[in-house]
A and B are shown apart, each in its own frame.
Chain A
Amino acid sequence: MPDATDILNALVLMSNFVFVPALAYGSQLALGALGVTLVFGILRFANFAHGDLMAFGTTMVILMTWGLQAQGITAGPVPTALIALVPAILVTAIAAILIDRSVFGFYRKRRAAPVVLVIASVGVMFMLSAIVRFIMGTDDRRFSDGERFIIRAREFRDMTGLNEGLAIQTTQALTVIVAIVTVTALFIFLRRSRTGKAMRAYSDNEDLALLSGINPDRVVLITWIIAAALATIAGALYGLDKSFKPFTYFQLLLPIFAAAILGGIGQPIGAVVGGYIVAFSEVMMTYAYKRFVTYLVPETWAPEGLLQFLGTDYKFAVSFIILVVVLLIRPTGIFRGAVIK
Chain B
Amino acid sequence: MILLLILLPVLAGVISFFIRPGWMLRSILLATAGFHALLTGGTWLRQPASVLEEWLFLDAPGRLFLSITSLLFLVTSVYALGYLMREDWGQRQDFEEGMLFTNARESVFVCCLLIFLGMMTLVTVSQHFGLLWVAVEATTLVSAPLIYFHRHVRSLEATWKYIMICSVGIALALLGNFFLAVAATTATGHDHVPLLVNSLVNGAANLSRPWLKAAFIFMLVGYGTKMGLAPLHTWLPDAHSESPSVISALLSGALLNCAFLAILRINQVCIAAGLAEYGKTLLLGFGLFSMLVAASFIVKQLDFKRLLAYSSVEHMGILSLAVGLGGDGVYAAMLHAINHSLTKAMLFLVAGNILAVYHSKSTTDIRGISSILPINGVLWIVGFLAITGSPPFGLFVSELLVLKAALDQGHVAIAMAYLGLLGIVFIGMAAIFCRMVQGYPAELPTFDTSQLVPNRTVATASRFFHESPLSVLPPIVLGMLVTLLGLFIPSPLQQTLIRAAATVSGQ
**A and B together in one complex:** no
